Amino acid sequence: MQQFIDAAPGVRLWTEQRGAADAAPLLLIMGAQATGVGWPEPLVDALAEHHRVIRYDHRDTGRSSWPFEERPYRIADLAEDAIAVLDGLGVGRAHVVGMSLGGMLAQMVLADHPDRLLSATLIGTSALSSTPYTRPDGSTVPVDELPGIAPEVLELWARPVEDHGPAAEVERRIEHWRVLAGDQLPFDTEYFRALEHRVIEHTGHHRTGTAHGRAEHEGMLRTDRLAANEVPTLVVCASAEPVFPPPHPQHLAQCVRGASVVEIPGMGHALPPAVLEPLATAVLAHTGAAAD
């Protein structure tokens, strides 16, 4: 079922619900400039066997409003959009699963609205905390000395995005996914081509937004509130992650009180077919335990 939610003045968000209406709600929050249909269908279906799964398009993506040029906003506003989606759909509390920027937004919700969450799962993201990382040997590493984004990703992100038509844009996005997916699993070109065709069809155009990269990023740290967390939290560690490589997941789990870590072998900063079953299994085990 699809529905539009008015999240703020001039902002309407596209949402989709799947699964039994009386099942425990689970909100999926995608990454920067990514639409809700970026969550793979097999993963959504697997989660919907146990949950009322909700996914949505951020502002300036997909079928939601594209307001940034006239009404610039903060990244923090994107986190409040998640709460607006729950409010608009009449959901009091939900499990939340966030990936990449979506994992940061989930942390902000975790910190600012813990009463709205049943559990949190954080994928491919870094801690919104200034707490140093403690190595297994007891030594510490300042946050700004943790491993950075892989050079090949930075090089790709530095390239100007030029409009050479839909076909060329799909190929550009496939190359993007190839780099983000890491080097531990075979890359399925046709899978990601089909994904991007779905995204373009869903959105209605092939333009690439840049609003989330330009939005105000200040005020995102939640060090103290994450350290006081009481919401069951799972951190997914992706062994081939090129954006937030280990030990970012371990650091995140140290910053969020009570968090645990599960590793998905071969996973990078993408959701190819090979990781969907183990990822769904990990998420469902976590949400099931949180409900006990």
DSSP the chain: -EEEEEEETTEEEEEEEES-TTSEEEEEE--TT--GGGS-HHHHHHHHTTEEEEEEPPTTSTTS---TTTS--BHHHHHHHHHHHHHHTT-SSEEEEEETHHHHHHHHHHHH-GGGEEEEEEES---S--PPEEPTTS-EE-GGGS----HHHHHHHHS------HHHHHHHHHHHHHHHT-SSS---HHHHHHHHHHHHHHHSS-PPP-HHHHSB-TT---HHHHHT--S-EEEEEETT-SSS-TTHHHHHHHHSTT-EEEEETT--SS--HHHHHHHHHHHHHHHHHHH-
What is the arithmetic mean of pLDDT over 234-240?
Answer: 97
175 located within any domain: no
**pLDDT per position as a tens digit, 154-203:** 999 988 888 889 999 999 999 999 999 999 999 999 999 999 999 999 99
164 located within any domain: no
252 located within any domain: yes
172 located within any domain: no
Mean pLDDT rounded to a whole number for the chain: 96
What is the arithmetic mean of pLDDT over 144-148?
Answer: 96
Residue 40 above 90 pLDDT? yes
183 located within any domain: no
156 located within any domain: no
Query: What confidence score (pLDDT) does residue 161 get?
Result: 83
Query: What confidence score (pLDDT) does residue 163 get?
Result: 86
| CATH number of the domain where residue 20 is located | 3.40.50.1820
**pLDDT per position as a tens digit, 65-91:** 999 999 999 999 999 999 999 999 999
Residue 20 above 80 pLDDT? yes
